[in-house]
Amino acid sequence: MLRTRVLNPSERQPARPVISASLDLAARLPRLILEARRVSASVHGIHGRRRAGPGETFWQYRPLVTGEAASRIDWRRSARDGHLFVREREWEASHAIWLWIDRSASMGFSSSLAQASKVDRALVAGFALAETLVEGGERVGHLGLTRALASRRIVELLAQAIVIDKKGDLDLPPDEPLPRLADAIIITDGVSPASSLAKRIATLASSGARGHILLIADPIEETFPFSGQAELFDLEDGLSLRVGDAGAWGEEYRQRLEAHRDAIKEACRRAGWTLTLHRTDRPASEAVLRVASLIAAARGIGR
């Protein structure tokens, strides 16, 4: 007979102090930014949309063309070598791509089979996508933290906003619709109730916005390779579950995980969103290329 026991409230242990050292985000960000840039540089095939046009970000200097108004001349640049130059800004699309990166306690988990914790992989993927998409001519922002920008410093700007965010423990994105001409990239481990995540997806998509869910999973969460007596610890609220026969309990766990994922898939299907599963024992570039390709394909359809 399967034997389990859930600890009562007096036995609960606070989760956040236990993992606070491993989630020292400010100390890890420089390394994560470098890794994100390496991943972005390895992704090919979706760049090339950058061009001059209306926007806020400097693009390039070019020689003045006969017939152009003198008001367009950048006199400081022109004074350097005696030729007339025009300062061009970078074109910015009328729509934006909004990231939301889950940094709740459960994202801090990392097993011996993983290359990185879920939160580190989520940040690397999010930063790499932001840089790749900006290079491709898009504007990118983080829901609830920044406005959508086409800045070449997009990764640094996102990182700075995330470091000072006081609501980084939330496990669901903001509960408000996105603009119709927007796309969302929700990066999460999806361990919150599927019904709650489904409601957020429906709200975000209610004005017609497209979206992409990137589910980050540790390989142990997928396979549950345990046997014998075990104690499972919930990083979100400190609950523990003592299991008498983990091997027997594992089959039920995998069935429930499949049902949970199916519910998320159905929520994405109803909203017209995509769902990508990424395991942390695989290269981050696989997830970035997959999501970026889905966005590029959707952009090719037109609105």
Whether residue 235 has pLDDT greater than 80: no
Do 292 and 157 belong to one domain?
Answer: yes
274 lies in the same domain as 175:
yes
The residue from 89, 104, 136 where one domain ends is 89
On whether both 44 and 72 belong to a single domain, the answer is no
Is the domain of 45 the same as that of 62? no
Q: What is the pLDDT of residues 108-144, one digit of tens each?
A: 999 999 999 999 999 999 999 999 999 888 899 999 9
Higher pLDDT pick, 192 / 75: 192
Looking at the chain, the whole-number percentage of residues with pLDDT higher than 90 is 51
Predicted local distance difference test score (pLDDT) of residue 24: 81
pLDDT higher at 45 or 193: 193
Residues 218 and 192 in one domain: yes
- List the domain range (segments joined by +) for residue 62: 58-89
Whether the per-residue pLDDT at 18 is higher than 50: the answer is: no
**Tens of pLDDT along 195-232?**
999 999 999 999 999 999 999 999 999 988 877 776 76
| Overall domain count for the chain | 2
Pair (170, 84) in one structural domain: no
Asked if residue 75 and residue 148 are part of one domain, the reply reads: no
Percent of the chain with pLDDT over 70: 80
The enclosing domain of 234 has a CATH number of 3.40.50
pLDDT in the model for residue 290: 95
pTM: 0.77
On whether both 106 and 140 belong to a single domain, the answer is: yes
Q: Could you give the maximum distance between any two Cα atoms of the chain, in Å?
A: 88
| Same domain, residue pair 44 and 109 | yes
Kindly tell me if the per-residue pLDDT of 287 is higher than 50. yes
* Residue 276: C-alpha distances to residues 6, 192, 292 (Å): 32, 17, 11
**pLDDT value for 45:** 53
Question: Do 16 and 113 have their domain in common?
Answer: yes
Residue 54 near residue 92, CB atoms below 8 Å: yes
Tell me the pLDDT tens digit for each residue of 238-257. Answer: 667 776 677 777 888 899 99
Average pLDDT value over all residues in the chain: 83
Q: What is the pLDDT of residues 34-52, one digit of tens each?
A: 999 999 998 865 544 555 5
Choosing from 89, 106, 140, the residue where a domain stops is: 89
| pLDDT at position 82 | 81
Q: Which of 89, 111, 144 is the last residue of a domain?
A: 89
> Do both 224 and 144 map to the same domain?
yes
Question: Which three-class secondary structure string do you get for 204-252?
Answer: HCCCCCEEEEEEEECHHHHHCCCCCCEEEECCCCCCEEEECCHHHHHHH
The secondary structure of 53-122, three-state, reads CCCCCEEEEEECCCCCCHHHECHHHHCCCCCCEEEEEECCCCCEEEEEECCCHHHHCCCCCCCCCHHHHH
If asked whether residues 65 and 155 sit together in one domain, one would say: no
